[in-house]
Structure 1
Amino acid sequence: MTDKPAVALHALIHLARSHQNLFQQCVDLALTTTRATTAVITIHRQETDDLRIAAAAGHLSEDLVGRTFARGEALAWRVVTGQRMILISDPQFQSDAHFASGHRRPGAYLGVPLVDPDGRVFGALSVDTTDSAEQLGGIDAEALTLLAQATGVAHARLEALERAEETADQFEQLAALSADLEALNDPVEIANQALEILVKITRMQVGAVYEITSHGSPMLTLAVWADRERAQNVLSELRSLPGTMLAELSSSSEPVVLTGTFPQREAHFQETHWSAVGAPLRPQGHMSGMIGVLRIGVEQKAPTEVIRLVEMVARRIDRAVERAALITDLRRMREAALRRMGRVLEYRDGETSGHTDRVTRMALHLGTLLELSDEQLDHLRWGAYLHDIGKVGVPDQVLLKPGPLTPQERERMQQHVLIGEELLEDEGFLPDEVRQVVRHHHERWDGAGYPDGLAGECIPLLARIFSVVDVYDALTSVRPYKQAWSHEAAMVELVAQAGRQFDPQIVRLFAASGLVDDHRYEID
């Protein structure tokens, strides 16, 4: 080979920056170093078991790139399966010869295998002299062989670079995933985010979480698809896989790896092999489900790093479930403690039993009608539980006095809202909105209330809601200083005080809701 082609081969090996660039340079060189009229590179795709033209140069080359050939549909298959050079002086009479024009024409064919440094044949470099008087011989075969060898070396170099970049990207994504998972407490969020990353960096087609039903069978609760339609078609062939995986995991605390072939080949997919990895979900030591990933078109088992990743995510989900259960228990305990505190206060100040539960129920109903958020409803409920907690600081002779209070006693009674707020200041888990209900539920719409004389919408919304139901229940209940009013009389009073003591919109909603009775009251 002359100096010029040698320089071209050196550039091919060391300067190509992508496989497409490499393959195109290769076919261009094939044309200039042989007597061919057309040069093509076909690459073997394992996942679909076909040959695809990756690059072409010369006669009719613009129509060739992207064409695929099943086994036996092109002479290049002889090169790939035989792993040797093939020279045919006139292939037009060969049944497996393919012609770019679609018509069989005279001309020689020469094909050599593309082999990487490990000896793996990954495609073929082919040239032909169709519609030309040129013949191909030993010099052409030598030139094409050298070119194929150089392409194999460059191909391996590019693959190594891609693997290095992919590995670096995987580590970067895993580091980010680890940090993200540490910040999450919701098991579903953790599983979804982890599966998306797993499917992406491990080239799996699907990731899934299954829950064990009361009958002991797996029920799909979450799935992430790389290619939803393709994966669903394939999974329809593997309906028994989740049950098989679950049976394997039930007796193992380690991940399980299963491989197999599809029971039949359908038109909607070409793959014949699959590989799956599953890990048990065992929060608090009890198996509640499993997490798994599936890869299609791979004969060997999943790599060790994939197995470890699936196991890591499973343990992360376990811890999240345990944290979620603990948080739920703590919230339940907090809720019970706050409600119990409100009910204890009923017994001290002589209120009718059930006052706390009644005003809480009515306040929440009003809040729902006003389309409060879940968080606002929580705050309203806690404020209802604790609205009169400050009465623990009011002397019995004032709190339980059966008759009218003196001005000094009334002032002492009104201090209960300030005492209540002060008692709750050190309770870090209670937001300001709860303390606002405690402090301001005796403010008036017209500004004549206490302790701050707030008026109109300056009064916090939750306090305005609660004040309506609190007064209604006080009017309709027996107290040491009064008899219970009828529902009708209480509603007449509320309507009369709309725009004075109460927010008129809230009174209107309360009266029209039928919350405490089927009666309806209109406010002018």
Structure 2
Amino acid sequence: MTGGEANRALQRFGVLPKPALQAQAVVLLAQSAQDVFQRCVELALSITRASSSLITLYRPEEDLLELVAAAGRHSEQALGRRLPRGQGLAWRVVDSGEPLLLERADSAPEAVYVSGRRHPAMYLGVPILDPDGALLGVLSADTSDSPERLGPDDAQAMLLLGQAAGVAYTRWRALDVAQRSARQFERLAQLSAELEGQTQPEPIVRCALRALLELSGFTAAGVVTVDRQGQARLSVLEGDADTQARVEDVLAEPHHPSGLIGLVLGSGRPQVVPDYQNWPGRRPDVTRVRSALGVPLRRAGQTVGVVFLLHMQRPAEIPRDLQTLLETVSARIEQALERSAHLEHLEQTREAALRALGRVLESRDGETFGHTDRVTRAALALGQALGLNETQLQQLRWGAYLHDLGKVGVGDHLLRKPGPLSPEERQAIERHVVLGDQMLRDETFVPREVREIVRSHHERWDGGGYPDGLCGEQIPLLARIFSVVDVYDALISERPYKRAWTPDAARAWLREAAGTQFDPQIVATFLRLLAESPGAQP
């Protein structure tokens, strides 16, 4: 007796056939899209009493069938198999859109046996359609290794199951898309906030790539940029260590763009490759990538690189919204990089203005031309030797530019006086450090540490300096560093009131002043640097 005959026997006793109820259960009880399919094959197996039941989904972007659910004999071997066109009886159902019932499946050359052993068996396959009638896949059953027979009533029951599966799967897929869109929207909003807090290009890109990996489920995300000679190079990559090593082996060195990268750069359009290893444009040396997609990265309207996603484990389904996500994140990167470039330009402009101001001040003071640039270079070299970080080095540089800003309030007759100063004149000149600090106090872009250099670079280690009589480590570190290089350059330079000292005499004087005028550790480090670069400042 077939499954259909059993149902008719139940009807004679007034019992509603199970297939209709069970088909409704597929719709009502499934907890996910995958659960829909698993319930469906298990019910199909129960109703038809076949040997095995399978669901294959049609992947139109790759034109292949993927086995996504199985029940019965050899079910574990079946899951995940991908059947190109011409392999498997399900292709007949796909092409016709109609149920297929074969008495002898083994006589069909395209029949695929999961067990690997071809033998007589019946085959029944029915289309799974969405509510609009579009084909999603095929639900099938077979009697391999079983005396059970399949008939028209089994086909009717399977059609009911296929219809229910199509409705339920479409519902769950729509829910998945909605939930994914909500997660993407929330994560993109978070990403926008994170990017606002970044000013350097690499952290901007890494932040965006990590968000892409979170949202896509892919294995690796990266950015390739192109130089003026048209050579492509991997700029930033996010992913696990093994994946990074494999991708870097291929993309790290400058190369002529080819494969997916070359196609995106050449066309200026997004490119999606669900099955990279079977893609005609693949690079022969890229053997581990299974799926890939890339979108152009633009700056000022020009394509300057590619943002890409890679899947290394298996060919992945790439929904349209994933491409949209990648384009959106690429646009976020572009905006953040544009802002970063603008900020960098402003920073360079401000830096140039501060340096120019320092050089104007040195010309008023009768200092040897180049004093500002020399003390800036020497201070930065000394700061690096003492382990300062990038922020401290920038503050030291700005302090070098502005250290004598307060001298704009001191008359030229005092600054250029060739003879000794009276106590009143010296007091007037010493006020320049306080005046400089006051002038910068209302400039919010000037850090406190810069003002400390301006105010305290004439303090002494023994407390005998000005304006506040600070001693030892009460004197801010950057001011202690700068005071050493400032005095050294003043000693070896000619001024209106003195001749230039020899470098040896200036170094000997620094040794004597260590521990009284200067921080002894800083003097020792500076003298070591001078010894390592004889005849020149650090």
TM-score by length of 1: 0.78
From the superposition, tell whether residues 77 and 278 of structure 1 become closer, same or farther in structure 2 (CA, over 3 Å): same
**Gaps in structure 2 of 5+ consecutive residues:** 1-6, 8-14, 252-256
CA distance in 1, matches of 2:197, 2:207: 12
Matched, 1:418 2:434: yes
| Structure-to-structure mapping, 1:134-149, within 5 angstroms | 134-149=148-163
Structure 1 stretch 143-152 or stretch 38-47: which is displaced more? Answer: 38-47
Corresponding residue for 1:359? 375
3-state DSSP class of the match of 2:57? Answer: strand
From the superposition, tell whether residues 451 and 23 of structure 1 become closer, same or farther in structure 2 (CA, over 3 Å): same
Corresponding residue for 1:253? none
Alpha-carbon displacement from aligned partner over 1:245-265 (angstroms, at most 9, x marks no partner): 25xxxxxxxxx5779995478
Query: CA contact under 8 A between 1:191 and 1:317: conserved in structure 2?
Result: no
Paired positions, count: 502
**Gaps in structure 1 of 5+ consecutive residues:** 247-255
Corresponding residue for 1:340? 356
CA distance in 1, matches of 2:288, 2:125: 27
CA distance in 1, matches of 2:336, 2:282: 41
From the superposition, tell whether residues 162 and 479 of structure 1 become closer, same or farther in structure 2 (CA, over 3 Å): closer
Pick from 464, 477, 484: which aligns with 2:500? Answer: 484
Matched, 1:281 2:299: yes
Corresponding residue for 1:3? 16
3-state DSSP class of the match of 2:392? Answer: helix
Structure 1 stretch 424-433 or stretch 237-246: which is displaced more? Answer: 237-246
3-state DSSP class of the match of 2:138? Answer: strand
From the superposition, tell whether residues 462 and 291 of structure 1 become closer, same or farther in structure 2 (CA, over 3 Å): same
Query: CA contact under 8 A between 1:279 and 1:311: conserved in structure 2?
Result: no
Matched, 1:115 2:129: yes
Shift of 1:292: 6.5
CA distance in 2, matches of 1:266, 1:95: 34
| Structure-to-structure mapping, 1:462-481, within 5 angstroms | 462-481=478-497
Alpha-carbon displacement from aligned partner over 1:453-479 (angstroms, at most 9, x marks no partner): 222222111111222222223333344
From the superposition, tell whether residues 136 and 384 of structure 1 become closer, same or farther in structure 2 (CA, over 3 Å): closer
CA distance in 1, matches of 2:224, 2:283: 27
Query: CA contact under 8 A between 2:459 and 2:466: conserved in structure 1?
Result: yes
From the superposition, tell whether residues 295 and 340 of structure 1 become closer, same or farther in structure 2 (CA, over 3 Å): closer
Query: CA contact under 8 A between 2:104 and 2:120: conserved in structure 1?
Result: yes
3-state DSSP class of the match of 1:124? Answer: strand
For residue 133 of structure 1, what is the amino acid of its counterpart?
P
Matched, 1:317 2:328: no
Corresponding residue for 1:244? 266
CA distance in 2, matches of 1:368, 1:417: 25
Matched, 1:434 2:447: no
Query: CA contact under 8 A between 2:295 and 2:308: conserved in structure 1?
Result: yes
From the superposition, tell whether residues 89 and 367 of structure 1 become closer, same or farther in structure 2 (CA, over 3 Å): same
From the superposition, tell whether residues 8 and 329 of structure 1 become closer, same or farther in structure 2 (CA, over 3 Å): closer
From the superposition, tell whether residues 277 and 66 of structure 1 become closer, same or farther in structure 2 (CA, over 3 Å): closer
Shift of 1:12: 0.9
CA distance in 2, matches of 1:271, 1:461: 53
3-state DSSP class of the match of 1:55? Answer: strand
Corresponding residue for 1:455? 471
Shift of 1:169: 2.8
CA distance in 2, matches of 1:63, 1:112: 22
Alpha-carbon displacement from aligned partner over 1:198-255 (angstroms, at most 9, x marks no partner): 7876899977565462x6x47456576899879989x854575245325xxxxxxxxx
Shift of 1:279: 7.3
From the superposition, tell whether residues 144 and 194 of structure 1 become closer, same or farther in structure 2 (CA, over 3 Å): same
Corresponding residue for 2:10? none
3-state DSSP class of the match of 1:3? Answer: coil
For residue 467 of structure 2, what is the amino acid of its counterpart?
P
Query: CA contact under 8 A between 2:297 and 2:303: conserved in structure 1?
Result: no
For residue 440 of structure 1, what is the amino acid of its counterpart?
S
Matched, 1:21 2:43: no
CA distance in 2, matches of 1:304, 1:118: 21
Matched, 1:507 2:520: no
CA distance in 1, matches of 2:287, 2:425: 86
Shift of 1:179: 4.2
For residue 40 of structure 1, what is the amino acid of its counterpart?
L
Shift of 1:495: 0.8
From the superposition, tell whether residues 465 and 84 of structure 1 become closer, same or farther in structure 2 (CA, over 3 Å): same
For residue 91 of structure 1, what is the amino acid of its counterpart?
A
Alpha-carbon displacement from aligned partner over 1:33-92 (angstroms, at most 9, x marks no partner): 224233232333345544333333334445443344444443333333333222233434
For residue 493 of structure 1, what is the amino acid of its counterpart?
W
Query: CA contact under 8 A between 1:356 and 1:384: conserved in structure 2?
Result: yes
From the superposition, tell whether residues 427 and 65 of structure 1 become closer, same or farther in structure 2 (CA, over 3 Å): closer
Shift of 1:16: 0.9
RMSD: 4.4
For residue 317 of structure 1, what is the amino acid of its counterpart?
E
Query: CA contact under 8 A between 2:192 and 2:332: conserved in structure 1?
Result: no
From the superposition, tell whether residues 275 and 514 of structure 1 become closer, same or farther in structure 2 (CA, over 3 Å): closer
Pick from 466, 473, 498: which aligns with 2:514? Answer: 498
Query: CA contact under 8 A between 1:262 and 1:273: conserved in structure 2?
Result: no
| Structure-to-structure mapping, 1:91-490, within 5 angstroms | 91-186=105-200, 193=207, 210-211=225-226, 213=228, 217=230, 219=232, 222=235, 236-237=258-259, 241-242=263-264, 244-245=266-267, 263=280, 278=296, 281-282=299-300, 287=302, 289=304, 310=327, 314=331, 317=334, 320-321=337-338, 323-394=339-410, 399-490=415-506
From the superposition, tell whether residues 343 and 186 of structure 1 become closer, same or farther in structure 2 (CA, over 3 Å): closer
Structure 1 stretch 261-270 or stretch 342-351: which is displaced more? Answer: 261-270
From the superposition, tell whether residues 218 and 346 of structure 1 become closer, same or farther in structure 2 (CA, over 3 Å): closer
| Structure-to-structure mapping, 1:35-46, within 5 angstroms | 35-46=49-60
Query: CA contact under 8 A between 1:476 and 1:484: conserved in structure 2?
Result: yes
Shift of 1:276: 7.1
CA distance in 2, matches of 1:329, 1:134: 78
Alpha-carbon displacement from aligned partner over 1:283-331 (angstroms, at most 9, x marks no partner): 6xxx463667699999xx996996798489559736853x455444443
Alpha-carbon displacement from aligned partner over 1:265-288 (angstroms, at most 9, x marks no partner): 8998899999976575326xxx46
3-state DSSP class of the match of 1:87? Answer: strand
From the superposition, tell whether residues 339 and 519 of structure 1 become closer, same or farther in structure 2 (CA, over 3 Å): closer
Query: CA contact under 8 A between 2:290 and 2:310: conserved in structure 1?
Result: no
TM-score by length of 2: 0.77
CA distance in 2, matches of 1:302, 1:27: 25
CA distance in 1, matches of 2:33, 2:89: 23
CA distance in 2, matches of 1:108, 1:161: 37
CA distance in 2, matches of 1:348, 1:264: 67
Shift of 1:123: 2.4
Structure 1 stretch 55-64 or stretch 33-42: which is displaced more? Answer: 55-64
Shift of 1:487: 2.4
